[in-house]
Structure 1
Amino acid sequence: MENIINHFNRYLPLEEEEKLALTSRLTERKIKRRQFLLQEGDVCKSFTYVQSGCFKMYGVDDKGVEHNLAFAVEDDWISDIGSLHKEQPSKLFIEAIEPSVVLQLSKGDLWYLYSNYPKFDRNFRVIIEDKYIELQDRLLQTVSATALNRYESFINQYPQLVNRLPSTQIASYLGVTPEFLSKIKNERFKK
């Protein structure tokens, strides 16, 4: 629980009572590689903090092709916020790429913390704002950047993932084929 306390302390440090309120509402889960936190059609019921491991969030198109939207590694959050907030079936999957340990906070417990401890409202607002900024940057890159520029941005955003993920996962995130990603890597290496 120390990691998540330190995570929150980077925003607004928590008092002992707030730490206890948080830790008493968290559920720790061990997740196997390729196990799902969320599947398409299910309603997302929690925010998930990654203590260890790696996850991908993706959708599948009509042709059965995966499109990676985001990755989450240690000291990061992952959730289908739309499904969680609206309590509607998700269009996404959240899957473990590696064996992982997560801490989950249900929507009801999250709202309890918001209502009773204002720091959590502020802390989660900043966390969600940061994720929104990432999404805006990713969307802008998707429509305006070259594949090479998108790959370089990926390296900057996820430096710890370049060697942890198979090229197929990175290619899906970038919206290119694994073969084209190989060309990009070779081009970058030559420079």
Structure 2
Amino acid sequence: MDTDNSILQLIKHFKEIVVLDDTDVELIVPRLEIKKINRKEYLLQPGQVSRHMRYIAKGSMRVYYIDEKSQEYTLQLGIENWWINDLYSYLSGKTSRMFIQANEPTTLIQISQKNLEILYKEVPNLSDFFRLKMQSAYVALQERTIENMSIDAYSRYNAFIKDYRNLEQRFPQYIIASYLGITPEFLSFLRKKHASGIS
């Protein structure tokens, strides 16, 4: 995918939610930065501050946290047309506790916080876009938190493959397991159970 197509892809993504005219697009495009990262490369690590909003044009990424016992917890997965970030670090200006890592060779489009603040004034509809995106992210996080506390692992797995059909083939089993809060061995069991249709 070349640069022009990546930018067009993001503009189309914006226009799916808010109205942008040609003048708006002309203001937005110069403030975008394309970043390519290799598989396993980190975009953000603990101790760094997130200063960009990041859109995945091509590839896949994950956000994860490692606790004091060296246990990994995958908090977010991302593929094409998704946004990925540590919003806590971005919004608070505090250092991140998360790792953001490419699962595949990935092309991102970044907008720095400074440029985004300028665009909010120049293109008010872009402010609406990000407000709606952040509201959606908050709702999804709350839903996932409640599901993890109240729904059994098999139901969580079924909901995952129903809602995110394309993700299971894109990420290694240990990452999917970490995202669901189970071991890779138990994920294998759940897959077999699902395949056999046993409830």
TM-score by length of 1: 0.97
- Among candidates 85, 91, 98, match of residue 85 of structure 1: 91
CA drift at 1:116: 2.1
| Other-structure match for 1:176 | 182
TM-superposed CA distance for 1:172, in Å, is 0.3
Q: Is 2:56–2:106's contact at 8 Å kept on the other side of the alignment?
A: yes
Counterpart amino acid of residue 171 in structure 1:
A
- Equivalent of 2:29 in 7, 10, 23: 23
Q: Deviations over 1:93-114 (max 9, x none)?
A: 1000000100000011111111
- SS of the residue 2:182 aligns to: coil
Q: What percent of counterpart residues are identical?
A: 35
Secondary structure of the 2:34 match is: strand
Q: 1:53 aligned to 2:59?
A: yes
Secondary structure at the counterpart of residue 133 of structure 1: helix
- Match of 2:18, SS state, is coil
Deviations 1:100-153 (A, max 9, x none): 100000011111111221101101111111111211111111000110111112
* The one of 45, 66, 76 aligned to 1:39: 45
| Deviates most, 13-22 or 172-181 | 13-22
What is the DSSP-based 3-state SS (H/G/I as helix, E as strand, rest coil) of the residue aligned with 2:83? strand
Residue segments in structure 1 that go unaligned for 5+ positions in a row? none
CA RMSD of aligned residues (A): 0.9
Q: Which residue of 2 aligns with 1:138?
A: 144
| TM-score normalised to structure 2 length | 0.93
* 2:27–2:122 Cα contact (<8 Å) kept: no
Task: State the shift of 1:65 in Å.
Answer: 1.5
Q: Which aligned segments of 4 or more residues in structure 1 are displaced greater than 6 angstroms?
A: none
